[in-house]
Structure 1
Amino acid sequence: MTMPPDKPKSAPQKAMEKLGLVRDIDLALHLPLRYEDETRITPIAALQDNEPAQVEGVVVDCQIELRSRRQLLVRVKDESGALLLRFLHFYPSQQKQMAVGVRLRLRGEPRIGFFGREMVHPVVKVVDEGTPLAQALTPVYPASAQLPQAYLRKAVASGLARADLREILPAGVVPRGLPSLKDALTCLHHPPPSASLAALEDHSHPAWQRLKFEELLAQQLSQLQAQRERALLEAPALRPGPGGLHEQLLAALPFRLTGAQQRVAEEIAQDLARPRPMHRLLQGDVGSGKTVVAALAAAVAIDAGWQCALMAPTEILAEQHFRKLVGWLEPLGLQVAWITGSVKGKARQKMLDAAASGEARLVIGTHAVIEDKVRFAKLGLAIIDEQHRFGVAQRLALRNKLKAMDLEPHLLMMSATPIPRTLAMTYFADLDVSTIDELPPGRSPIVTKVFTESKRHDVVDKIRGAVADGAQVYWVCPLVEESEAVDLRNATETHAELSAALPGASVGLLHGRMSPGDKAAVMAQFSGGRMSVLVATTVIEVGVDVPNASLMVIEHAERFGLAQLHQLRGRVGRGAKASVCVLIYSPPLSDTGKARLKAMAETTDGFEIARRDLDIRGPGEFMGSRQSGAELLRFADLQEDAPLLVAARALAPRLLDAHPEAARRQVARWLGTKAEFLKA
């Protein structure tokens, strides 16, 4: 017997799937953007200008006017007065629908002008006298062109009725005054007329608070589970021997560690000495000295007889680490391997062999380090720099690659983008966080100045003076992927302009399309002081360390994110010279652009910059949704909902200990497969 073919899906069904509205719980959690009040009738005479309202009246006139443009004019009256309805686009059927004598219920924004009250394109419904009003506010859902509100409202109502919204959490767990989950969702989809529209729309209503608490609790439970699962795994206990590489490196460094560097290096050493995997985030402002802390951690692992891998997001940054670490460690008899996409042929094979045999005790590179062909003999520590630049899948691949002898690797992640406390409590609740909150002595303060594009010639004059005084200068041009060719041309034109304006000075150009060898040659000239001005795209954003560079110009600063601007600014002020960062913008500025440039001019504190960046962008964008491409928090707002976060954080361990099955179901309901991303 042949089965009948599957019925083709309608456009609304396809649109629903595209929005992820597949299961009943998906529909139940698809919450309104706003509400329309169809529960009351406003007398026509009481209408307020531009305030949405619903009126009811009888049609007393309906005609097409052909004066300036063809339009349908309909006049309705109630006991208090008259209202003109104006339709600029209409069908003949609409004219018939609104014939004289028909009673209409209308909803729209009234305009009160010289000729009286009117509504343009109101929502129209034909009714009888006494037709009952809606008993709840009418939800308006996030939708698409293929998904009419009426269809979506019906689908959501059905999904809400069918969804399993039984209470998972045991009695006494939910904060006082919050409704059950079922009542909360019913209220949010069908609020009673007495509900405060303001509280519903600013998400302070108790129904919203219940959803946010549930979501934050699931997120905290997921991270606590990940932390506990990792605590059951074994890792090599890495302890440096007396007089070993760790002590030799400390003695050989040409500078003394700051108190903050000593503190975090000790925290990391204590973690490495334990037989369970370290999972630590090392954060510090630009120039705070994270690389030397990473080198000390590597020395601990190598001292204990294991290998270490350090992965950086760009070849320039990886090479910066390579040069520093080779300078510190090779004199102590250590071999360092270098693996990036640009290392080819026999040279690459030699590096692969050195890593596989264990001869190379430290391997430094880019994403190439996680390629299948890269093998390690005995690798116990992975260090990921600028960890936010790597995707979840890449970080998981590195963890899996490093598994050796049934042991988990220790993992140290570094970030020069400080993470505000509320974010650390949520997105990194399963991490131990070490913070370098002190800059090394001798770093000069950076003054930030903001100029409009019309002052560009003054900036070029400033560069001329700086170069004459022996300073080195960065000029940064934005590079946006969608218009790479245009922006590359801008960088090339800027290079030509500055070369002409600075006769006798060496002006270099560095951009993403250059070969790694050419990039390295240009950077070597600039680092060695043989080049006065470097015109560059954002390939110099992180890791470049030229102490003599004391002036940076960032062109089209409004096109950069706040964290990126702060990272770029951190390339100057690395020596004893007073340093200046000039931000050039092209008006008009958006509100976001103004807020970014204001923050840059007012503070050089990376933690304050991060706090303002979070205010401007919101947590999902700030964290790149923990670089997973999937928003992990749909309802909670980390800024406004800190008290709920604190409550969820305190409750999570108690719930996991006393009610493990309830905890498992809570995570499954709210996070599903997204829980895996939190483990990376």
Structure 2
Amino acid sequence: MTEAVRKTASALTGRLHKLGIFNDADMLLHLPMRYEDETRLTDIRTAQPGVSVQVEGVVEHAEITFRPRRQLVVKLVDDSGALILRFLNWYPSIQKMLEAGKRVRAFGEVRSGFWGEEMIHPRLVSVSEGQALPQALTPTYPATAGLAQSALRKLVLRAFTRASLADLLPESLRRSLKLAGWERSLRYLHQPPTDAKLGALEDRSHPAWRRIKFDELLAQQISLRKAYIERRAHAAAQLLPQGSLSAPFLAVLPFALTGAQRRAVDEIARDIAQPWPMQRLLQGDVGSGKTIVAALAMLQAAENGLQAAMMAPTEILAEQHYRKLAGWLEPLGISVAWLSGSQKKKERAAMLEKIASGEALLVVGTHALIEDTVALEKLGLAVVDEQHRFGVRQRLALREKVVGRLPHMLMMSATPIPRTLAMSYMADLDVSVLDELPPGRTPIVTKLVADSHREKVIARVRDACLEGRQAYWVCPLIEESETLQLQTAVDTYEVLSAELAELKVGLVHGRLKPVEKAAVMDAFLRNEVQVLVATTVIEVGVDVPNASLMVIEHAERFGLAQLHQLRGRVGRGAAASSCILVYAQPLSPTGRERLKAIYETTDGFEIARRDLHLRGPGEFIGARQSGVPLLRYADLELDVDLIEAAKQAAEEMQARHPDAAEALLTRWYGGRAELLKA
């Protein structure tokens, strides 16, 4: 192999890797995104403007013109008429193909131009007179710079001769699900016959597509199921429910648990009493009472003489949890430790000593918990709040504090996860759902207001605060510039301080030192500050029952889940509460959809379903999925029946056809299938 050939091969390999293609199996799973019909010819005279067609003719003449810019203009003729082919960029090979007297086929959209009908940059094939037409539709693949469609088509044909095309589904399973054969489906999608229904191919409802999507979902389910089984092979401390701490705690609570809370508490208590590590997700809407459920699980660990740690993504949220737990438990003689990055050296040293000595069986903190100086050898239960905000590495670091066994893991999320997403991406977790709100939560009225009516909104804030209530004013999200976002918050703070001179206005944002942030939040909690201007640092965990009004500026810039979280900061007391969404006009279609959804419902699960539809699954699962990639072909809304079937089939495949299950994983994930570890 010459150096030039080696360099070309290396460049091709690099481009294929960019597309996620590492072997022949990957090549066959790189499926077309659309198709073009080159199986028929259209007479030039009958070609309609605005329609893509294929014509064949002889070049009458070709010339390079320089007005209005440099371009190659070609006149192509057939027996019915003439058509102009126009190129603004071209290679010498194109110019050679289009010399006078050459016969070519051109595929493209016909347009009405200054000199008559024309095609701009059509796709060209050099042909001889009477040459046969293709017998299949022409696929168009997702590509990358420097990789032509013609090269991808050749590579696919070569992969068909080299890759395994074995059907890995047991025949009985395939028949019961009425699925097409594997090889037949692949060949159909890469080379559809001339009579194929284009609509069913392009909307992926064709039986060939259903087979591909089922196998993709099955590989994902097998991978997650395998991770679930592998975790159960590890040892964990059995934390048996004893009631010595939880009973007195429940006795002093000023309210009764909801039915959903009792159910979740029982599920977790049962899990952490087993000799293998629990891996459970506790999900519930804003204000559904997840912290109480976590507290009871942590007490069960303490009853067994082991420690429980709760890790939260922000200092505000972590401190909120600490205050709640300490307020509930320290009167009962249970010591709770607190760790954060901003603690003074002396306080931190005292807390580290309490943790290391085992005096504090319950620990709450931020990422500071996973630092090397924190000794948690007696950790029996790790609780991770807002789990999608932590990376896999961070959760592993908490787990690895213990030698010789694994702690039980409870992950919490206030962003409800749509059922199909939980079935698909969370199949390696057990899930507890808090689907009812504690009594006493007041309904929140949502209002949409155009930003041209800001004065009315400010007046509404003034009235609410003069009646003894408090308000949040959340500044717009400016993703491209944190500095600009901060400046907007400062500007808003100054404007509101001037407009609401009779009230005390506070400001909290991500750049404030934690001590300064805590001071403002404390003042707001004590009603020394009536209006809190904030960036999204208050999105989760802030609990001020007297705050009954939430204003969100440029609400159209926020995601649905974020809007729902922010709205959930009010309605936590007895007073009627409102959320005012201030939007800028004109609204984009997506912005309109978001605001319509948040206006129409306060049900977190319905909002999550709509959010999934608008954004796709990526942001819901966050950094959790280290090994299993996002689905390429299956659709979580349209293919619910396939997800259900794949979930059941995964168990059967692993139990009765383990070799085929492994081969399926290799086919879909190759050497890149790092199984989920956290």
TM-score, with normalisation over the residues of structure 2? 0.94
* 1:596 partner letter: R
Pairing 1:488–2:486 present: yes
Pairing 1:455–2:457 present: no
Cα pair distance change 1:97/1:647, threshold 3 Å: closer
Distance 2:169 2:528 in 1: 67
Distance 1:337 1:344 in 2: 14
Percent of residue pairs identical: 60
Cα pair distance change 1:70/1:312, threshold 3 Å: closer
Pairing 1:268–2:230 present: no
What is the CA-CA distance between 1:99 and the residue it aligns to? 4.1
Cα pair distance change 1:469/1:150, threshold 3 Å: same
Secondary structure at the counterpart of residue 526 of structure 1: helix
What is the CA-CA distance between 1:95 and the residue it aligns to? 5.6
Q: Deviations over 1:360-406 (max 9, x none)?
A: 100111112122222224221111111111112222222232x35x3
Aligned to 1:234: 235
Cα pair distance change 1:94/1:5, threshold 3 Å: closer
Aligned to 2:215: 214
- Identify the match of residue 413 of structure 1 among 405, 408, 411: 411
Cα pair distance change 1:314/1:275, threshold 3 Å: same
Aligned to 1:345: 345
2:355–2:363 CA contact under 8 A, matched in 1: yes
Distance 1:27 1:374 in 2: 48
Aligned to 2:421: 423
User: Structure 1 residues 203-212 or 321-330, which shifts more?
Assistant: 203-212
Equivalent runs, 1:294-333 vs 2, <5 Å = 294-333=294-333
Equivalent runs, 1:655-670 vs 2, <5 Å = 655-670=653-668
Cα pair distance change 1:296/1:193, threshold 3 Å: same
2:391–2:623 CA contact under 8 A, matched in 1: no
Aligned to 2:169: 169
Aligned to 1:23: 23
Aligned to 1:432: 430
What is the CA-CA distance between 1:61 and the residue it aligns to? 4.7
Aligned to 2:562: 564
What is the CA-CA distance between 1:627 and the residue it aligns to? 4.8
Aligned to 1:286: 286
Secondary structure at the counterpart of residue 119 of structure 1: strand
Cα pair distance change 1:500/1:628, threshold 3 Å: farther
What is the CA-CA distance between 1:341 and the residue it aligns to? 1.4
Distance 1:642 1:301 in 2: 38
Cα pair distance change 1:327/1:131, threshold 3 Å: same
Alpha-carbon RMSD across the aligned residues, in angstroms, is 2.4
Aligned to 2:383: 383
Secondary structure at the counterpart of residue 145 of structure 1: coil
Equivalent runs, 1:47-66 vs 2, <5 Å = 47-63=47-63
Distance 1:595 1:618 in 2: 14
Pairing 1:533–2:496 present: no
Aligned to 1:201: 202
Secondary structure at the counterpart of residue 109 of structure 1: strand
Q: Deviations over 1:429-483 (max 9, x none)?
A: 2222111111111111111112222222221121122222221110111344540
- Identify the match of residue 643 of structure 2 among 638, 642, 645: 645
Cα pair distance change 1:671/1:63, threshold 3 Å: closer
* 1:78 partner letter: D
User: Structure 1 residues 83-92 or 571-580, which shifts more?
Assistant: 83-92
Q: Deviations over 1:139-182 (max 9, x none)?
A: 22212223222333333332343222323333322255533323
* 1:370 partner letter: I
* 2:204 partner letter: H
* 2:335 partner letter: Q
What is the CA-CA distance between 1:131 and the residue it aligns to? 1.7
Distance 2:651 2:178 in 1: 23
2:627–2:674 CA contact under 8 A, matched in 1: no
1:50–1:109 CA contact under 8 A, matched in 2: yes
1:59–1:76 CA contact under 8 A, matched in 2: yes
Distance 1:94 1:667 in 2: 44
Cα pair distance change 1:249/1:673, threshold 3 Å: farther
Secondary structure at the counterpart of residue 497 of structure 1: helix
Cα pair distance change 1:272/1:614, threshold 3 Å: same
1:625–1:632 CA contact under 8 A, matched in 2: no
1:38–1:137 CA contact under 8 A, matched in 2: yes
Point out where structure 1 has 5 or more consecutive residues left out of the alignment. none
Secondary structure at the counterpart of residue 152 of structure 1: helix
What is the CA-CA distance between 1:428 and the residue it aligns to? 1.4
2:388–2:623 CA contact under 8 A, matched in 1: no
Secondary structure at the counterpart of residue 76 of structure 2: strand
Cα pair distance change 1:491/1:630, threshold 3 Å: farther
Q: Deviations over 1:405-445 (max 9, x none)?
A: x3332111111111111111111122221111111111111
TM-score, with normalisation over the residues of structure 1? 0.94
* 1:110 partner letter: V
Cα pair distance change 1:218/1:125, threshold 3 Å: closer
Aligned to 2:400: 400
Equivalent runs, 1:488-507 vs 2, <5 Å = 488-507=486-505
Pairing 1:546–2:547 present: no
1:358–1:377 CA contact under 8 A, matched in 2: no
What is the CA-CA distance between 1:72 and the residue it aligns to? 4.3
Cα pair distance change 1:676/1:97, threshold 3 Å: closer
User: Structure 1 residues 185-194 or 543-552, which shifts more?
Assistant: 185-194
Distance 2:623 2:629 in 1: 5
Secondary structure at the counterpart of residue 214 of structure 1: helix
Distance 1:629 1:523 in 2: 39
